[in-house]
Chains A and B, each alone.
Chain A
Amino acid sequence: MLMQAELVWLLGAVAKGDKAAFERLYGATRAKLYGVLLRILGRPELAEEVMQETYLKVWKMADKFDPALASPITWMVAMARNRAIDIVRKRGEVSIEEEPDAQNAVADTPAPLARREMTEELKRLLACLGKLDPEKQRIVLLAYYSGWSREQLGTKLDIPVNTIKTWLRRSLLEIRECMGK
Chain B
Amino acid sequence: MYDEAQDALAAEYVLGTLSSDEREHAEALRDIDPAFAESVRLWERRLGELNVMVEAVEPPPAIWEKISAAIGDVAPPDAASPTLAAMGEVRPFITDETPIPVLSSDQPAAEPAPAMPAAAQLTDTLSDSLTASLAKTLDEPSIDSMLAGAEPFSDAESDNVVQLTQRVRKWRGIAIAMQAIAALLAIYVVAAQFLPGLTPLRNRTGAQQTAQGPAQVAARMVAVLQQDPTTPAFLLTVDPQSRTLVARRVSAKPEQGRSYELWLVAKGASAPKSLGLVGQDEFTQRTIPGSIDLATLRSASYAVSLEPAGGSTSGVPTGPILFTGNIVDSVPTTPRT
Interface residues of A (CB under 8 A from B): 1-2, 5-6, 8-9, 11-12, 14-17, 19, 22-24, 26-32, 34-36, 38-49, 51-53, 55-57, 59-71, 73-75, 77-79, 81, 85-96, 98-102, 104-115, 117-119, 121-123, 125-127, 129-130, 134, 137-138, 140-153, 164-165, 168-169, 172-173, 175-176, 179, 181
Contact = CB atoms under 8 A, between A and B. Distances in A.
Contact of B45 (A46, A70, A129, A173): A70
Contacts of A173: 4, 7-8, 11
Interface in B42-70: 42-60, 62-64, 66-68, 70
Contacts of B110: 1-2, 27-28
Grouping DSSP codes into helix (H, G, I), strand (E, B) and loop, the B interface class, with mixed when no group exceeds half, is loop
B135 A111 contact: yes
Contacts of A61: 77, 334-335, 337
B213 interface: no
B112 interface: yes
Nearest to A181: B42
Contacts of A6: 93-94, 100
A147 B16 contact: yes
Given A5-B94, A100-B148, A78 B67 contact: no
Nearest to B4: A173
B57 A34 contact: yes
Which 4 A/B pairs are nearest by Cβ-Cβ distance?
Answer: A17-B76, A92-B209, A31-B56, A102-B144
A143 B143 contact: no
B23 interface: yes
Interface residues of B, number: 116
B144 A100 contact: yes
B172 to A, nearest CB: 42
Interface of B: 4, 7-8, 11-12, 14-20, 23, 41-60, 62-64, 66-68, 70-71, 74, 76-79, 81, 83-84, 86-88, 90-91, 93-94, 100-105, 107, 109-112, 114-123, 125-127, 129-148, 150, 152-153, 156-157, 194-195, 198-199, 206-209, 334-335, 337
Contact of B46 (A17, A53, A92, A176): A176
Nearest to A47: B59
B137 A30 contact: no
B114 A143 contact: no
Given A23-B105, A89-B18, 17 more contacts: A8-B93, A16-B76, A23-B64, A38-B142, A40-B16, A43-B147, A48-B59, A48-B60, A60-B74, A63-B79, A73-B48, A77-B48, A90-B195, A106-B142, A111-B138, A112-B135, A150-B17
A147 B137 CA distance: 12
Most buried by A among B52, B122, B142, B207: B142
B324 to A, nearest CB: 31
Most buried by B among A27, A60, A102: A27
A92 to B, nearest CB: 3
B48 A78 contact: yes
A67 B90 contact: yes
Contacts of B102: 24
A78 B250 CA distance: 24
